[in-house]
Every structure is written in C-alpha cells, then in structure tokens.
Structure 1
Amino acid sequence: MDIKLKKYSHGITTKIIVFLMMITCFTGAIQAAVKLDIHNNFEIVFEDNYLHSQSFLWENDALVSGLSRLIKEYKSEEHILNGGTVSEDELRSEEEDLYLSYSENSKSYNPNLGEAENYEKFKEEYGDRISQAKDRLVKDDLREFHSLLQRIKEVKDPLYYATDGVNVYKNSTQTEKGQFKTYPAYMVFEGYSREIYPKEIDKDNYFYWGNTEELDPKDQAVFVAFTEKFLNNKEKEWQENKASATKGYYQLIGFFTGFILLFLYLIIVTGRKSFKDQEVHLHAVDKLYVDINIFLFSGLTVIWVAMMDSVGFTNMDKAVIPITIPISAAGFTLILSLVRHIKSRTFFKHTLIYKFFLMLFKFVRDIYENGNIAVKTVLIVIGYPILIALTFFMFPITLGLAAWFSLRRIKSFNAIKEGVERIMDGDIHHSIDVGGKGEFSKLAANINGITDGLKKAVDNELKSERLKTELITNVSHDIRTPLTSIITYVDLLKTEKDPAKVAEYVEVLDQKSQRLKILTDDLFEAAKASSGNIPVQLERIDIGSLINQGLGEVSDKIEEQGLEFRFNYPTEKVYIHADGKLLWRSIENVLSNIFKYALKGSRVYIDIEDVGNEILLTFKNISAYELNISANELMERFKRGDESRSSQGSGLGLSIAESLTDIQKGKFTIQIDGDLFKTMIYMPKYKNDQE
C-alpha cells in the first residue's frame, strides 16, 4: 500500500489531474464571487429581515435625502431663479477667480494702487462676467433641481410627503403625520426629532438618513410610509435574493476551500518524486528567469482584469469561465515554477537582475582590488558608457545602479567632510563611520586614528595639568609646614635667653630642616626619574640575594613597627637584567611605603616568581589607613594612603619607584583589594647572551 501511495502521490498523471481540478475550483470560486457581486450583495447572507437589511436602507436613503434637499435647499424653481440657492461663499469664490484673472490679464490693474481701489475697478470692468458667473450657478442648481424632482416623481411607493411650509412634494393625499403613522412601517422627520417604526430600522449603522437632522423645526418636515403590499413584495424579493446569495456564498466557500487544498498539495509535491525525495527536479518552464516569470504573471493578471472589464458588469458571470480557465492555467504554471525555485533555493540566483549585479560586482571588485584610485576612476569613466551600450535594453537599471553607487560615494565623502569639520570645531570624540571597504573607508580610518592620537594627547595634557595643579598644592602644603615651624623657632631663638630652651629649639629646627631636606630631595629625585636623565648600568642581579641583603639593612625599622616579614622565593637562584642601585632604590621606596602605612603588628609578604621572560617581585601588606582611592590615583605624585596627609611621607615614593623601574625596562603596578595593598615589580629575566 505504501509503495502504491509513493507511486501515485507524486506521479505526473496525478499532478496533472490535481492541477486541472485546482483550475476548475479556482474558476468556480471566481464565478461564484462575481455572481454574488452582480446579483446580490454579500451582506445579505448575514442579514435577518428586509427592514434591517442594507438593501432597505440603500433604497430609501436616496428618497429621504432627495426630499430633504428639495425642501431645505432648492424649495422651488422660483426660489432658484431668484438666486436663493447661490450662497455668498460660492459668489465670493467666483469673484476671487475672476479677480485673479483680472490682476494677471487686465491693463486696468495697477499694482501701485491699494487692493480696495483695484477691486472697485475690477467690479466695474468685470461686472458682466460676475453676473454671468452667478447665472451659471443658478442654471446648474436649476438643472440639478429638475433632475432630482424627476427622480422623486417616479417613486410611486413608498408614500411620501415633504414640505417647507410653502412648497409641498408628495405622491399621496395624506398630509398629516398621524396618517403616515398608521402604516406598518414609517419614518417621520420633523424639526430636530425623528420617529421611525419598526425600531430595528433606526438601530442600523449603515446610514444617518441623509441630512434630516438639520430640518428647520418651524415648518420643514419629511414623512415616508410603507404600505403592507409594498413591504410584502419587497420582503419576498429580498428572501429570493438572500436564498440565491446564500447558495452562491456556499459555492464560493466550497470552491475556494477545494482550490486551497489542491493548491497546497501541488506546492508540496511539485519538484519531488516522493515524500522522501530531497532533490528538486526542475522542468523546462523553470529555465525561464524568475523576474521574467513574475513579469509574465503580472501581465496575465492585467490581461484578465482588462478582458473581464471589457465584457461589461452584467455579462461578467458568463465570461468568467472562458476567460479565467486559460489565463489561470498559465498563471498557476508560472507560480508553481516559482515554488520549485524557492525549494531549490534558486529564487534570487535565477534572475536576470542577480546575474547582472553579480557581473557588475565582480567588475567593480576587480577594479578596486587591482588599481589605485586614479586607475579606478579611469576604468569607471571608460567602463560605464560601454556597460550602458551593452545593456541598453535595461538602461533604467544600469542608470539606477550608477546613481546608487555615486550616492554611496557622495555620502561617504560628506560623512568624512562633516566629520573633519566637527573635529576641527573641537569634537575630538567624534568617530567617522563610512562602512564598507575602499579608499574612503581607509581615509576615514586614518582620520579616526589621528583623532584617537589627538584625544590621547589631550587626555595626557589634561592629566599633566591636573598633576601640576596638585603638585603646586601639595608641595606648597608639605614644604610650608616645616618652613613655618623653622621661621617660628628662629623668631623664638632671637629673644630666648635660657640655654635649655635654646637647645630644645635648635633640636626642633634640626628636625624640621631635615624634613624639608627630605621633601626637597624627593622632589628632585622624582623630577629626575621622570625625565629619564639617570645613568643606567644593566647587569646580572641575583634578586633573592638583593632582597635578603636589603631586609637585613632595615631590620631595625621592621622591629620598630612590629611587622613580620615572610619572604618566599624559588629554590634555584633567579637572575634579572637590571641596575642594582636603581632597583634597590625602587624596592627601598616600596619598603618605606610599607613602614609608613602598614598596620602595626601585621604580616608583610614578599614573593619572587618566574613568569616566563620576566621575574615578578610582589609585596603585600595590610594598610593601617582606609584605602578609599583607586590604584591609578595612588600612583599619581603626592598621593598618600591617608588623605588627611598627617603621615610623614611626601607622596612621591611610589611614583619614583615606577619611574626608576620603567627606565630599567621593567613594569611597576599596584593593586588594592579592601585593606590589602599589593605592589608588583616585573623585571626582565637575565639571559646568557645579555652582557
């Protein structure tokens, strides 16, 4: 059974039969829709009765609207001839048109005169034309009045009566509202109110019954009544139309459902030989380019619409079958070809436009990859006319492509131009983005590179200016403190006679002068280290021995602070390429920083690690002060761990250590993790070929 299903489900005979059935269903659906549109309205299928139908409203709205216009607007022929229907706005509009013609064409118009004077001359000269314009308006209204009156007089049923107090339009002897309300259905519009029976009529949303809401309450009224005979005939006619429309509606649903199912089946099986077949098998018609296919399908659609329109509305249902069958067969053949291209993923590749653009892309790419901008320009100037000549049949496409290409280049040029102007105006953070590749893209990248360099230079300059400001502030503060003390004690020595006091003052002066000397030396050393004007003698240094020797020299300070040093180093000796004196000066500054700011009684860890081409020397200690600044800020000159600046440090130690490490081709960094302060010095490892 499964083999038979595979044999017949995708067989060519099965596909042809299904295709013919689909065309039949499609044609049947079109014919049912046309019949439904010609002989019935679609809404009638869902309506309940005639009085609540769209047909009832459409049929009687014209009568009510016509009667309202007669009594409100036209009234009578005499009223129209006397100009009663011509409004001031209409006359003013006509006069304005004539005045415009007068100002442009008449020699009497004087631009040097005022508008009022010119308008008076216009009314004298164009008086006859103004009168003719008014007569034309009157004639137009009179023509419309007689046409409307003729249509109203042809209405025999329903009964109507309309009056404006003077003029009366009716087709029955009844003139009283009460007389009209005796009929099975009626509509009474009088003044601002309306009475409609049955109520279902008034609940409908299709119409608002002409302009009856604006009837003059004094003397204007419109009465319409529907006799029982009229309603019975209309109800019977409506029921017949509803039955016919319902039948057509179900035919439409049936044919359309069949068409959808058959079409979906063909979409699934077309191009396949079985459900498991992964390959798409194309037919002869599939050699047609996709864009040509779409063009032909659009042409068939236009032909079908034109042929259906030419047969006339009333005969359209008879012409559906002979016109639709051949055109739809050809159209769905093209659609199924498009489906096969979609399945084979060749929908875009199998188009003339794709092949043209592919060829053009390769041409442009070859130009851009194999020549400078001058060569590219020359080739484009020479190649484009040739391309136009070769593709004259699709000139709009090539012209559009050239315009697109030029627009992209112009946009790129404008983007670069605007970007340079913004950068010139001081917006150094602006980045020019033209996208893609090519000369403009390279130029934009180069300009962005210049901007980045400029931005870095500005940032460095701002940082330098900030550091200078802090330098002045902090140096002034740190030098002024001991200097003030020296001045004060010198003044005291001038008047002091007690030798004991003099000795005490001299001791204080010695301390403050030493403090001032330390600050001055540190400042000089920081400036010298930053400038790099220090002789460097690089040699092989045993870093472990250097640290051990140095710790021995500062053992007194270690005991004084109550610190416990833990020194970890590799079992084998490690050598670095550095200047021993400068390196120890850096280490000494780090140790000095530890003695000043480490928590008393805490541990200090010193680790030596081999990290490949470098040796890492790490110092870790717990700070006695809260470290509420970043590592980058702490590395700046005159920055201290205690922001109150109550300690004896100058704030230059870490900065000097960093500068001395840098000139030895090393790297100096610090890290802060809570109260843990870590200093890391990376130095180049000594190699045998280094002397």
Structure 2
Amino acid sequence: MGTKLKNYSHSIVTKIFIFLLAILCFSGVIKAFVDIEIIRNSDFSTVFEESYFHSKSYVQESEALISDLTTLIREYKSEEHILNGGTISEEELRMEEETLYYDFQAHSLRYNPEQSEAKNYEVFKEEYADKITSLRDQLIKGDLKQFHLLLQRVEEYKNPLFYASDGVNIYTNSPKGEKENFKSYPSYMIFEDYKRELFPKELEENEYLLSHLTYLNEMNQDSQVISIAFPEKFLQESIKEWEANKEAAERGLLIFIGFSLGFILIFIYLMLVTGRKFFKDEEVHLHALDKIYNDIKILLCLGLIMLWVVLLDAVPFQSMEIMVIPLTVPIATAGFVLILSLIRHLKNRTFMKHSFIYVVLSKFIAFIRNVYESGSVGVKTVLIVVGYPILVAVTFFIFPITIGFAAWFALKKIKAFQAIQEGVERIKDGEIHHSIEVDGKGEFSRLASNINRITDGLNKAVDNELKSERLKTELITNVSHDIRTPLTSIITYVDLLKQENDPVKMAEYIEVLEQKSKRLKVMTDDLFEAAKASSGNIPVQLEKIDIVSLINQGLGEVSDKIEASELTFKLNHPEEKVFMLADGRLLWRSIENVLSNIFKYALKGSRVYIDIENQGNEILLTFKNISAYELNISADELMERFTRGDESRLSEGSGLGLSITKSLIEIQKGRFLIQVDGDLFKAVIYMPKYK
C-alpha cells in the first residue's frame, strides 16, 4: 500500500493534475472577488449588514450629494455672494501675489538682486500693477465657474430628495418644498442647529454615517440646514437592490471561502511534493526552469501581477465577467510555475545563493579577495591606499563607522603580526611544539601556517628520529636474543660432539646442529631480505595476475602445512575473473609470508577466511584467522620488525614476515594493513586492478 501511495502521490501525472486543480481553485477565488468587489461595486462586508438602514449602500446614496450641498451653503452660497468677493480671502490674494513676485524675480530685467527686498517689491508692484489688479477678478471667475458646475451637478439629482439652506439661499429638488414636509417620507435625515434627526432609528447604529458627519460638522451653524429624504418608491428599489447584492455577496463569499480552502490545501500539497520523488526523499530534484535566477523570477511574478491588472483594466465593464477567467488562467499558471521553482530552491537551501545579485556580489567580493590574498604585500598596500578613500567617499554619511572599521582592521593585523613575532621567539627558544594561531586568510595567516608546518615537520623529524633510535635498540636486542639462542646451541653441541664417541648420540647432536644452523640461516636470510625490501632495491615486473588462480595454486602447494595445522581454509571470490596488476613472484612471496604467519599463530582446528573483492580501481584481498595467542598488542606494533604475536618468543620465526610483506606490497604500488579485533587477526592487501 505504501509503495502504491509513493508511486501515485509523486508521479508526474498526479502533480500535473493537482497543479491544474490549484489553477482552477485560484481562478475561482479571483472570479468571486471580481464579481462582488468590481462588477457589483460592493464588498463582502454586505454579508454582515443586518438591514439596509445599517448598510454602507444607504450612506453611499447621499454621500456625494451631502458633500456638494455642504460646499454650496458653506462656501459659495450664491452667485451674488461670489461676485461680491465673498469667497476670496486676503490670504488667498496674498499667495497669488507672491506667485507673481516669484515670476518677477525669474523673468523681469528690472529685478536687482543687489537692492533690498522692499525696493524690489515696489518695482514689482509698479511693473505688475495691471496683473495684481486683475487677480481678484480671476479668482472670482474661477469660483463662479466651480459654483455653476457644482450647481449643475446638484440639480441633476432626482433621488434622494434634498433641502439645503444657509438662511438666505435655498437649494432643493423636493416637490413639497419646505423642509418640514421631509418627515412625511419613510426615511429621512435632517441636520440643523447642531443637531441631527434620523429616521428610522436604526440609522443611529449605522457606523458608515460617520463619514457624513465629517462634512456636516463643517456647516453646523444656526442658519444652515440640510435635509435628505428617501421617497417610498426609491427606498423600496434601493432595499431590493441591496438585498440582491447581499444575496450575491453571501453566495460569492461561500464560493470564495470554498475555493480558497481548496487552493490552500492543494498548494500545500504541491509545496510538499515539488522537487521530491517520494515523501522521505532527502534530495531536491531541480528542473531546467530552476536555472533562472530567483530574483529574476520574483520580478517576473510581479510583472505578471501588473500585466493581469492592466489587461483587466482594459477590458470593457460589460465584458469583465466573461473575460476574468481567460485572463487569470494563463497568467496564474505562469506565476505558480515560478513560485514552485522558488519553493524548490527554498527546500534546497539555495534561495539566496541562486540569485543574480548574490552571484554578482559574491564574484566581485571573491575577485577583490583573490587579488588581495594572492597579491604581494605591495599589491595589497596599493589596494588599501586606493580603496579606502573610495570607501570613505561612498560611505561619507557613516564616516565614524568607516573610521571604526579601519581602526579595527589595523588592530587585527597588528595583533596577528605580534602573535607571529612572539611565536617565532618561542620556537627559537626550543618550544618546537608551539603552534601560532592567526585567524583569517590573509598574508599573516599564510605566514603563520607556513611556520607551523615547519615546526610540524621538525616535530615529525624528531619523532621519527626517536622512533628510529627505539627500533634500532629493539632490533639489536631482538637480533641478539634470536641469534644467540641457536648460536649457543650450536656451540654447546659442538663441544658435546667433541667429547662424544657414541655414534648414535653423535648422529643426534649432528641433527640438532643442522636444525640450529638452518634456523640461523633463515633468520639471516630474512634480515637480508627485509633490508632489501625496505630499501626498494628489488626488481619489479608488473603483469596481469589472476589472483583466484594464484591463491588456489598456492594453497595446493602448502596443503601439507594446512593438514598439519588442522586449519580449514574458506576462499570467497566473485564469479567473474578478477585480475590485478602485480609482480607474480613478489606477490606470492607476500602471500606466503601471511600464510606462514597464519600457520605459526592461528588457533588449531579453526577456520581461515580468504576474501577477494572487486572494488572498482582496486582488488581487495583479506586473510582472517583466530589467533592462538592473546593479542594484547596493537596492529602498528605488530608491523614493526622482530615483533611476534607471542611475547615469550618461543615460537619459530624472525618477526620480519609482516614487515617484509608490507615493503613488498608497497613497491608493487599496493597497500598492506593489519587489523586486530580481540583474537581476530586480519591481514588486508590492496592491489591495483588490471585494466
């Protein structure tokens, strides 16, 4: 079931299908929003309005009308009032006169900057006398024009009915004339004597009336009054329209919420599966589109949004309901493809790094750093001398910060120099293990690193010398011990042989002498071979070796030793032929040493495993056996010369076998390792694969 879910949940077909569903849901969200907010010129708040008298629509019926009436009775009043200059203030005249004075300063030849301002102003009044006189007439004409435009707009209102008066001038479209008659209508608003009278009383709870009151607060004077009335027929038509809009808003809101929830859930799913082949896939798989820089994709998304707004604005109002889906689908498809690409980079943690700005800045910084770090001290000095004034010029508004940064940089370099100086003094005085610590990647850091490498090399040389001295001491001790034992036996039996006349005992003494002399010869030969192997003075002829055949042939040659040791050999190898590049003679000598070590130290009756593995460019040959002795010695110590698995040194052998094997393998461009795990002993040979 889990495999089927993995196959379907992240398949390309499923992803495309879910993506199309996301586009469908998003288009539904946009369609519902446009239908309510633009086409019906309403909003979703209509859903929460209890009645028409609590609605924004009721207020909007008279909002513009009240604003115009307020302007009429408060500012313009009447044509006579405008012609008499009632709308012109001294402040307004003064500002217009100042505008003319600025024109005089800029264009008049009579303006003298060396004269006082008062004298220039007298010259201005003389030269611009006609224009100054006509200023008042121009302002009156402008106000008169605005008055007639406003009056024309007010007279075009048929409904609602209105009555406005400043105590002298009256503006109304009511057939009943007087303001007192307005209370006979089913709904009215009367603003007079700093009071308001609203009907029905539900209007007192209409929060949108506050916008009306801002206009009315400016005209609240004893003589001014504004009355608004809604006739029965007009009111019923408005209520019916509001109810239709409310029903459409409720339906649109349900559609909006449904599509929104569907889109959110689907888009979350797309965010989870995009770039993955299954849910636990840790790798993010990028596509060709993901090569576009992320900041460019963000700009493209913003451009698509602007394109959608421009295209929708260009659509005729009557065609908007039909065209909104065809416009939204292709633009949303392109946009979501870009957004999913950005999400893949977020999941891949390359959102910032895969941006054009980041790439440009990082390359510029890397270029400066490379020039600075790879150049000589002279180049760096020139960069600092040239670059710092440029930095100060560019960042002049934060000059103290720039100075602080320069001081910090200089102090850091001084401390680095002092650390190097102190470290060199300590190393010179004999503290060869001292390490100079300098942060960063500059010239001083490289100098400190080079000095540390010199001390590391010196330490290594000292350690190697100490190890060499220790090995020489152990070599002399072990050679003395191992050679003295058979040599002492030879001397003893020679003396006995001189004194013995019995032929039988003489034969026994001669046999012992032969064994001890052969033992001494073996040790001498091993020592000579170890010296040759470690010096590398052995001719090597690399050729194609069938390692499986070599092992089988070798095991056949030592079958008598295998039987004597009661060991069981298990050979594991690939079915196909395995060839390595080696010298057959030296390779078998190495393997023979390893087998000899097994015969001497392996537990009798145990198993010996020989594994051959093909590791691409190398062939791995592993020998595993259980030791008859307790291996309380490290693998590194076992590799040293004249070291044996039995510390008592009672077993046969010179202790040179593993060391000789390591040298022989290395001169064939291979590697030899030994591993100890409890009583388990492993000898590992890596050889180049024959190609």
- Structure 1: which amino acid aligns with 2:98? E
Shift of 1:407: 5.0
Indicate the residue corresponding to 2:413 in structure 1.
Answer: 442
Map residues 230-241 of structure 1 onto 2, 5 A cutoff.
Answer: 230-241=234-245
Alpha-carbon displacement from aligned partner over 1:563-597 (angstroms, at most 9, x marks no partner): xxxxxxxxxxxxxxxxxxxxxxxxxxxxxxxxxxx
Identity of aligned residues (%): 50
- C-alpha distance in structure 2 between counterparts of 1:131 and 1:223, whole Å: 41
In the alignment, structure 2 segments of 5+ residues that lack a partner are 421-691
Indicate the residue corresponding to 1:20 in structure 2.
Answer: 20
- C-alpha distance in structure 2 between counterparts of 1:178 and 1:414, whole Å: 74
Shift of 1:237: 1.0
Shift of 1:261: 0.8
**CA RMSD in angstroms, aligned pairs only:** 3.5
Shift of 1:17: 0.3
Indicate the residue corresponding to 2:42 in structure 1.
Answer: 41
CA, structure 1 residues 110+268, in 2 after alignment: closer, same or farther (shift >3 Å)?
Answer: closer
- C-alpha distance in structure 2 between counterparts of 1:188 and 1:170, whole Å: 13
- C-alpha distance in structure 1 between counterparts of 2:163 and 2:129, whole Å: 42
- C-alpha distance in structure 1 between counterparts of 2:79 and 2:237, whole Å: 36
Of residues 197, 200, 203 in structure 1, which corresponds to 2:199?
197
- Three-state SS of the structure 2 residue aligned to 1:99 is helix
Indicate the residue corresponding to 2:94 in structure 1.
Answer: 92
Shift of 1:18: 0.3
- Structure 2: which amino acid aligns with 1:442? K
- C-alpha distance in structure 2 between counterparts of 1:381 and 1:214, whole Å: 67
- Contact 1:191–1:215 (8 Å) recurs in 2: no
Shift of 1:92: 1.2
- C-alpha distance in structure 1 between counterparts of 2:75 and 2:60, whole Å: 22
- Contact 1:65–1:209 (8 Å) recurs in 2: no
- Contact 1:187–1:224 (8 Å) recurs in 2: yes
Are 1:282 and 2:267 an aligned pair? Answer: no
Shift of 1:202: 3.6
Indicate the residue corresponding to 1:525 in structure 2.
Answer: none
Map residues 439-588 of structure 1 onto 2, 5 A cutoff.
Answer: 441-443=412-414
- C-alpha distance in structure 2 between counterparts of 1:119 and 1:230, whole Å: 61
CA, structure 1 residues 309+444, in 2 after alignment: closer, same or farther (shift >3 Å)?
Answer: farther
Of residues 245, 251, 255 in structure 1, which corresponds to 2:249?
245
Indicate the residue corresponding to 1:160 in structure 2.
Answer: 162
Map residues 22-421 of structure 1 onto 2, 5 A cutoff.
Answer: 22-38=22-38, 39-42=40-43, 43-109=45-111, 118-206=120-208, 207-209=211-213, 211-215=215-219, 217-312=221-316, 315-376=319-380, 406=391
- C-alpha distance in structure 1 between counterparts of 2:418 and 2:72, whole Å: 79
- Structure 1: which amino acid aligns with 2:248? S
Alpha-carbon displacement from aligned partner over 1:2-52 (angstroms, at most 9, x marks no partner): 332222111111111000010111111111111111113212122112222
Alpha-carbon displacement from aligned partner over 1:216-275 (angstroms, at most 9, x marks no partner): 644322222222222111101110111112211221111111111111000011111222
- C-alpha distance in structure 2 between counterparts of 1:13 and 1:118, whole Å: 84
- Contact 2:66–2:212 (8 Å) recurs in 1: no
CA, structure 1 residues 174+444, in 2 after alignment: closer, same or farther (shift >3 Å)?
Answer: farther
Shift of 1:170: 1.2
- C-alpha distance in structure 2 between counterparts of 1:211 and 1:134, whole Å: 28
- C-alpha distance in structure 1 between counterparts of 2:401 and 2:343, whole Å: 46
- Contact 2:104–2:124 (8 Å) recurs in 1: yes
- The number of equivalent residue pairs is 416
239-248 or 356-365: which moved more?
356-365
- Contact 2:392–2:399 (8 Å) recurs in 1: no
CA, structure 1 residues 69+302, in 2 after alignment: closer, same or farther (shift >3 Å)?
Answer: closer
Indicate the residue corresponding to 1:641 in structure 2.
Answer: none
- C-alpha distance in structure 2 between counterparts of 1:381 and 1:416, whole Å: 18
- Contact 1:70–1:145 (8 Å) recurs in 2: yes
- C-alpha distance in structure 2 between counterparts of 1:81 and 1:251, whole Å: 58
- Contact 2:53–2:206 (8 Å) recurs in 1: no
- Contact 1:185–1:197 (8 Å) recurs in 2: yes
CA, structure 1 residues 345+411, in 2 after alignment: closer, same or farther (shift >3 Å)?
Answer: same
- C-alpha distance in structure 2 between counterparts of 1:415 and 1:66, whole Å: 58
- Structure 1: which amino acid aligns with 2:413? K
Indicate the residue corresponding to 1:10 in structure 2.
Answer: 10
- Contact 1:415–1:433 (8 Å) recurs in 2: no
- Three-state SS of the structure 2 residue aligned to 1:165 is coil
- C-alpha distance in structure 2 between counterparts of 1:260 and 1:187, whole Å: 46
- C-alpha distance in structure 2 between counterparts of 1:413 and 1:218, whole Å: 60
CA, structure 1 residues 314+87, in 2 after alignment: closer, same or farther (shift >3 Å)?
Answer: farther
CA, structure 1 residues 257+108, in 2 after alignment: closer, same or farther (shift >3 Å)?
Answer: same
- Contact 1:40–1:241 (8 Å) recurs in 2: no
Alpha-carbon displacement from aligned partner over 1:163-220 (angstroms, at most 9, x marks no partner): 2232211112434443222222211122322222223324433313353234364432
Shift of 1:60: 0.6
CA, structure 1 residues 373+121, in 2 after alignment: closer, same or farther (shift >3 Å)?
Answer: same
Shift of 1:116: 5.2
Indicate the residue corresponding to 2:640 in structure 1.
Answer: none
- Contact 2:193–2:224 (8 Å) recurs in 1: yes
- C-alpha distance in structure 2 between counterparts of 1:131 and 1:412, whole Å: 50
TM-score by length of 2: 0.54
- Contact 1:433–1:444 (8 Å) recurs in 2: no
- Structure 2: which amino acid aligns with 1:6? K
In the alignment, structure 1 segments of 5+ residues that lack a partner are 383-401, 420-431, 450-691
- C-alpha distance in structure 2 between counterparts of 1:173 and 1:412, whole Å: 70
- C-alpha distance in structure 1 between counterparts of 2:59 and 2:333, whole Å: 42
Shift of 1:347: 2.3
- Contact 1:10–1:273 (8 Å) recurs in 2: yes
